[in-house]
Chains A and B, each alone.
Chain A
Amino acid sequence: MRFAQDLRFSRLWQNGTAHLIMIIITVLMAVPIVWMFSTAVRPESTVRQYPIQWIPPDFTMENFTSALNTYPALSRWFLNSAVVATTTAFFSVVVDALAAYSLARLEFFGKKIVFIGILATILIPVEATIVPLYLGLSRAHILASDFGVYMSLILPVVANAFGLYLLTQFFQGIPKDLEDSARIDGASDFGIWWRIIIPLSGPAITAVTIFSFMASWNNFLWPFIVTSSDLTRTLPAGLATIFGGITGNASSVKYGVVMAGAVLATLPPIVVFLVLQRYFVQGISMTGIKG
């Protein structure tokens, strides 16, 4: 009896501690984002103030209009990022899904070498390839035109080894029966890919789309290097030209406006992310890197 009581007490204590740790960590993780929003919606005069007031004493949206006026290219960068990330995600899914069909459902000479070779490229740091890539593209005058720059932003990140791996794993799990009966009816491999494999792979396709969209949306170094005008800059490359320059005297930075710009850049992906986050999680569970 005594023992049971002890046990129940220790369970309760453990459970309480676990909840407490969870709450503390969650709050700490949320603080920076909440602070970004809180700074963005207060008048500049109340930004640098101790003691900290989490709820702004005066609520205002003037930082947002001010951000759009101070950085007129912001909307253009945003548009560029949206176009580049969407196009990259689309091509990436098509190219990965075609290759994954071959690796998952067909037999051919050299398959193992191709598969391992492609997977090994996950380990190559892109930084090791940007110098030759930049030299090649700039010497071929591709970076001289805006269209060339857009292509240079998109094409190098289209072949996505992680997406290919994920789709290959998923395609391998689709039963053969459907494919066999389609073959008897005279379907070609492309027909099977388009009419059977793709429609059955909704979750995996969605996961890869989101992965490549987010990777492109957040990509910084390469866009920073190949873009040289506000017409072609993506959001990270453009924001770096503003925020990278905030050196020296930190007390002159208008953090209200800066945080408003940060909110404008962050809110759309966070919303998309919150809506679609279960696909991320599903996608990771499907990679086969699970135990």
Chain B
Amino acid sequence: MSVQTQAQSQAKSARAQRKSDARVPQKNMTAYLFLAPYLVVFVIFLLLPGIAGFFISFTNWRILGDPKWIGLANFQSMFNDPMFWQAFRNTLTFTGMTAPVLVAGGLGLAVLLNMRLRGRTIARTVIFIPYAVMVIVVGVLWRWIYDQNFGLINYYVGSIFPAFHNMPWLTSVSNALPAVALTTIWWQIGTNMIIYLAGLQEIPTELYDAAQVDGANGWQQFRYITLPSLSLMHMFVIPMSVISSLRVFGQVMVMTNGGPVGTTYTLVQHLYSRGWINQFMGQASAVGVFLFALTLVATLVQLRYFRAV
């Protein structure tokens, strides 16, 4: 009797096993059906163009006419082009000016506005609002603020330091890039603040109470509790700030159009000008491939650093 039951149950479980095996393809099928719309759009509009861009950079593609394979010629002419190197240098300098301030400033603002301060909700909203202003409006608004003769900045700077009353900003070789960087910081710092605020609110207050009992001062609490607790936030905020700075375009186009004498000319502007002004799509694609490689390297370096920490 008991042997029979055992055999029965064994057969039953074997059957169940077969049945569940048979169901696996069907389960896969349902899962892929749900994924299908996303994957289709993703493949057509992101993956394929990404791969195609790589191949186009080896051709002399124009908007019309038949493309010819020209090997590395586009990259050769790109690396021999002083405009490219200027764009590369400017983009790196710009990123060096904006990304650290966006990250450290965003974190600083988040810590400040996480304190129990009266009116902090209003402050958060005001600091986050520039996010809702489109880049072209940001550019034209700040052109007006930087206006050499009647701008807001020169009025207040000039009233404190009369020597700087007629300071050129966007038309000055040395001031234009920092001026665009300042505008960008104003525009984007609120986003980082909001992300860090969300992270700060998750840190248990007991950690700080315990540290206080142990006699840790404010800086030590920040260094040994706040900073490490936000590690996942850093992994998001820091690469995103760097990447968005490397991709700078719209505000530069409106504020200086790359000038004066190319001091604010950036990589995306170089891509746009090669592709849509000179109509050398192969060369534009080479710039695109370079930009992709640059963001990839920047991100991998950062991820490696985070893993090491």
A residues neighboring B (CB under 8 Å) = 15, 18-19, 21-23, 25-26, 29-33, 35-36, 39, 47-52, 94-96, 98-99, 101-103, 106-109, 111, 114, 118, 121, 123-125, 127-136, 138, 155-156, 158-159, 164, 189, 193, 214, 217-218, 220-221, 225, 235-236, 239-240, 243-244, 246-247, 250-251, 253, 255, 258-259, 262, 265-266, 269-270, 272-274, 277, 280-281, 284-285, 289-291
Contact = CB atoms under 8 A, between A and B. Distances in A.
B52 A108 contact: no
A285 B147 CA distance: 40
14 contacts: A22-B119, A22-B123, A29-B129, A52-B156, A95-B41, A106-B31, A125-B247, A129-B288, A131-B285, A193-B34, A220-B135, A225-B272, A246-B140, A274-B125
Given A156-B46, A270-B133, A291-B202, 15 more contacts: A22-B123, A31-B152, A98-B35, A108-B27, A114-B39, A124-B295, A131-B56, A132-B50, A132-B285, A136-B52, A159-B41, A214-B131, A239-B137, A246-B140, A266-B134
Interface string B251-263: 0011001010000
A118 B49 CA distance: 15
Most buried by A among B117, B119, B130, B140: B140
Contact of B141 (A23, A32, A111, A272): A32
A256 B95 CA distance: 33
Contacts of B181: none
- DSSP majority for the B interface? helix
B4 interface: no
B289 A128 contact: yes
Interface of B: 27-28, 30-32, 34-35, 37-39, 41-42, 44-50, 52-53, 56, 61, 63, 109, 112-113, 115, 117-120, 122-123, 125-137, 139-145, 147-150, 152, 155-156, 171, 186, 190, 194-195, 197-199, 201-203, 229-233, 235-236, 239, 243, 246-247, 249-250, 253-254, 257, 259, 268, 271-272, 275-276, 281, 284-285, 288-289, 291-292, 295-296, 299
B46 to A, nearest CB: 6
A210 B45 CA distance: 22
B136 A239 contact: yes
